[in-house]
Structure 1
Amino acid sequence: MTTARPAVQPLFAPPYCAPADAAAQLRRSGFALLSGHDLARWIGATPQELHELARAWNDLPPDNYLLDGGRYRSRRHGCFEVQAGAWVPVPRRAHWQPVEYNALHGGIERWFEPMAQDTLAQPAWHALLTNLGSLCDAVFAPNADALRWYVESHQFRIDTASGIGRPTPEGAHRDGVDLVAVFLVARDAIKGGETRIFEAASPAGQRFTLTEPWSVLLLDDARMVHETTPIQPLAAAQPSGEGGHRDTLVLTWRRGGFQGPLLGAA
């Protein structure tokens, strides 16, 4: 007697666009996706430089602020000002979001360990910040001088050592910024992790799974809501007891200043 295998959920491919079309796509649809190959060519980074940058995800301390009781997330945090092709780090500050944007963790100051200096010195890091800053100018201020952007960087590792890891435990949400960039850095021995985006003003949406290293989702945060489904270990990874993991880099770009409790809801 043959035992039927459970159906494998299909992976929906991301609808990538060319880097030259990203600004127009963002203005038109509220989102754009670039493949990892195109991202590297666009920012002028070599595969080796991106590989070196990705090594930083092997040294992330645990997130001790998870309010769902989980221990599946590790992270580092950084804040920067970016303008006209230049960037500077700002003194360490808490990550803060209003409850209107993060019902699970909003309204509290979360102090995460800062990004490592070795990471900030990587050529690929400089290339990411400067090129994304130019893209933000093209999307949000195409006829103005280069804006000053207040950028928060989040290095995430979601693991499945305990079974299930939740990339977005707060559920479908917005971040209270202008642009959100979600880079898939690595995906190892997991299933799940489907990204879903929806128009904030309508039920229209898309679903896809990022699998290529350094592929990126770009979102106009005022127009789009986003979430990523939980991840689980592949069967082949379970005997080791280590599970798998999903590494991402999230960069949020905001005009006018960083979010903070003194500003209230942004």
Structure 2
Amino acid sequence: MFLHAGALADGAVDSIQADFDKLKPSAYKDGAFRYRKYSKVRLDDGAVSLLPSEAFVQTGDINRFQGDVARTYDDLSGELLNSQGFQSICAEFATVCKLPAQSTMEVHQMRIIAQAGTDSVEAAPEGIHQDGFDFVGVFTIARHNHTGGELLVWRSQHDDSPLTRLNLIAGEFCIVNDKSLWHSASSLSAINGDDVGYWDLFVLTASSS
């Protein structure tokens, strides 16, 4: 088992919060409640660079919600890639996972939306799942006007209760071994009915080789 929870240095997310305001709704089944970008990046002795764009595909046995679909998203912005905050996220992820100095990781930049005046929205519509990598990291950048959105980590998809429930605030993260643990997230509901609620986060995935 491998689970690591921690926090970035104070102020690390300040330079990247505004970038989430530029996200567009997904063109796929999650578009009603997820705005997102996706890229593969290369980490080379601490330097982060963008790799050529590729569609993101998960098999149906991994993603029961929208598996076996080649999904194409906008790449992460150059401004974000060059920001100290994003570079610190990639460095923290690589350090905790003990990735090689030259390694590849996949990055999902997401805003999960809880619309005012509507019922709760699923943060993880695929349910309790693994993503098919060695490591998965969830980094919270901001939360606004919502309840829920807890990260849930399970020993097995068949367990009745999660191993842990984490309500990660801005700058906090959790990294799990995707081979031995399962994860999900609780649904979101807007608090103030006159305002949208949202959870801004990065999901990073990588394999050791």
TM-score of the superposed pair, with normalisation by structure 2: 0.89
Identity %: 22
Matched residue, 1:190: 146
Instruction: Tell me what 2:80 maps to.
Output: 119
Structure 2 match to 1:219: 176
The separation in 2 between residues aligned to 1:101 and 1:213, in whole angstroms, is 28
Residue aligning to 2:66? 105
Deviation at 1:66, TM superposition (A): 1.3
Paired residue for 2:136?
A: 180
Count of equivalent residues = 206
2:18 equivalent among 55, 67, 71: 55
Query: What's the counterpart of residue 23 of structure 1?
Result: none
Contact 2:46 2:101 in 1 (8 A): no
Report the CA distance shift for 1:137/1:209 in structure 2 as closer, same or farther (over 3 A): closer
SS of aligned partner of 2:16: helix
Distance 1:214 1:193 in 2: 15
Which one has a bigger Cα radius of gyration? 1
Deviations along 1:45-94, one digit per CA (max 9) or x if unpaired, are x51x4211122111110012116xx6111011111122443332110111
Q: Which structure: greater helix fraction?
A: 1
SS at match of 1:232: strand
Contact kept, 8 Å, 2:136 with 2:176, in 1: the verdict is: yes
Contact 2:53 2:75 in 1 (8 A): yes
Letter in 2 for 1:155: Q
1:51 aligned counterpart, secondary structure: coil
Change (3 A) 1:187 1:148: same
Contact 1:84–1:133 at 8 Å: present in 2 too?
no
Runs of 4+ in 1 over 6 A off after TM superposition: none
Counterpart residue type for residue 30 of structure 1:
F
Residue by residue, what CA displacement relative to the aligned partner does 1:129-170 show, whole Å, maximum 9, x if unpaired?
Answer: 2332233227xxxxxxx3643211111111111432221111
Contact persistence 2:106–2:206 (CA under 8 A): yes
Q: Aligned equivalents of 2:119 and 2:190: distance in 1?
A: 7
Q: 1:208 aligns with which of 152, 165, 176?
A: 165
